[in-house]
């Protein structure tokens, strides 16, 4: 068994244990392998071990990797799902709209409008999460919690886009209780939006919360998707772009 395959197995065991502690079904939590700065061969290795969903923070790097994977022999590329989990500038929306399946980091209507207009007609609707700055970090992306429902409602009206839920990246918390508190706040906001009966929310079912350090607390709070990078691929050997 390769290192990546072994790491994947360990992460899945951790997810299963966290779900058991939370009284949840592990099948309700998707593992997103964050492959930023790792090459297409590492993605292929993870895919060979059964991983299908991959997250990329850097758009140009992610697109190059997607295209490289498509050149590999066999049906591998068609089975993979690609998630954009990094900040999106206006000049990169077309790349995202044309190559990714999911976007987790929509926090402005302008970006959503560009993604909507640039999504190719032959592709399924782009699956979108609204990023929320739940703990108020001054340097972080994300819509303030009090503005999230209005943004969800506006984005849900756009064609070629389907709003699926919320995403958050809270600051590092000192312990499990602190991690749990901020994730629970995001879950409560998610529940309020889901209960509001907003037009256009056909499948509002995704809470993208939790990374390697805090996935246990995120799952306890109700996360349906955890984003794990170093826990799968190891320590990055080259600097981020």
Tell me the C-alpha distance between 4 and 44, whole Å.
Answer: 10
Q: What pLDDT was estimated at residue 130?
A: 98
Confidence band (pLDDT; 50, 70, 90) for 237? low
Q: What would the mean pLDDT of 18-23 be, rounded to a whole number?
A: 98
Q: What pLDDT was estimated at residue 235?
A: 81
Look at the alpha carbons of 197, 199, 202, 206 in this order and tell me if their dihedral is positive or negative: negative
Tell me the C-alpha distance between 8 and 27, whole Å.
Answer: 15
Question: How do residues 81-120 score in pLDDT, each as one tens digit?
Answer: 999 999 999 999 999 999 999 999 999 999 999 999 999 9
Half-sphere exposure of 119 (CA within 13 A, CB side): 20
pLDDT at 137 over 90: no
Higher pLDDT, 147 or 138: 147
Confidence band (pLDDT; 50, 70, 90) for 201? very high
Question: How do residues 147-160 score in pLDDT, each as one tens digit?
Answer: 999 999 999 999 99
Q: What pLDDT was estimated at residue 62?
A: 97
Q: What would the mean pLDDT of 154-176 be, rounded to a whole number?
A: 95
Structural domains of the chain in order of their starting residue, each with its CATH number: 3-233 (3.20.20.10)
Q: What would the mean pLDDT of 197-207 be, rounded to a whole number?
A: 95
Name the β-bridge partners of 137: none
Tell me the C-alpha distance between 32 and 57, whole Å.
Answer: 12
Q: What is the pTM of this model?
A: 0.95
Question: How do residues 42-80 score in pLDDT, each as one tens digit?
Answer: 999 999 999 999 999 999 999 999 999 988 776 666 789
Higher pLDDT, 148 or 138: 148
Higher pLDDT, 157 or 138: 157
Average pLDDT of the chain, as a whole number: 94
């Amino acid at each position: 068994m390769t290192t990546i395959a072994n790491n994947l197995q360990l992460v899945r065991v951790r997810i299963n244990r966290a779900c058991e502690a939370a009284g949840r079904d592990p099948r309700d939590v998707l593992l997103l392998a964050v492959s930023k700065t790792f090459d297409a061969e590492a993605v292929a290795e993870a895919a060979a071990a059964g991983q299908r969903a991959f997250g990329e923070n850097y758009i140009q790097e992610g697109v190059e990797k997607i295209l490289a994977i498509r050149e590999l022999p066999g049906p591998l590329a068609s089975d993979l799902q690609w998630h954009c989990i990094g900040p999106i500038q206006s000049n990169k929306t077309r790349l995202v709209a044309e190559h990714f399946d999911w976007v987790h980091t929509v926090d402005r209507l302008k970006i959503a409008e560009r993604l909507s207009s640039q999504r190719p007609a032959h592709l399924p609707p782009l699956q979108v999460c609204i990023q929320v700055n739940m703990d108020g970090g001054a340097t972080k992306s994300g819509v303030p919690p009090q503005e999230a429902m209005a943004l969800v409602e506006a984005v849900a009206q756009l064609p070629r886009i389907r709003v699926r839920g919320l995403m958050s990246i809270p600051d590092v918390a000192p312990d499990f209780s602190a991690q749990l508190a901020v994730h629970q706040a995001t879950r409560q906001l998610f529940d309020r939006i889901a209960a509001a009966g907003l037009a256009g929310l056909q499948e509002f079912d995704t809470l993208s919360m939790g990374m390697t350090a805090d996935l246990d607390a995120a799952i306890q709070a109700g996360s349906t998707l955890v984003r794990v990078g170093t826990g799968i691929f190891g320590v990055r050997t080259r600097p981020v772009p």
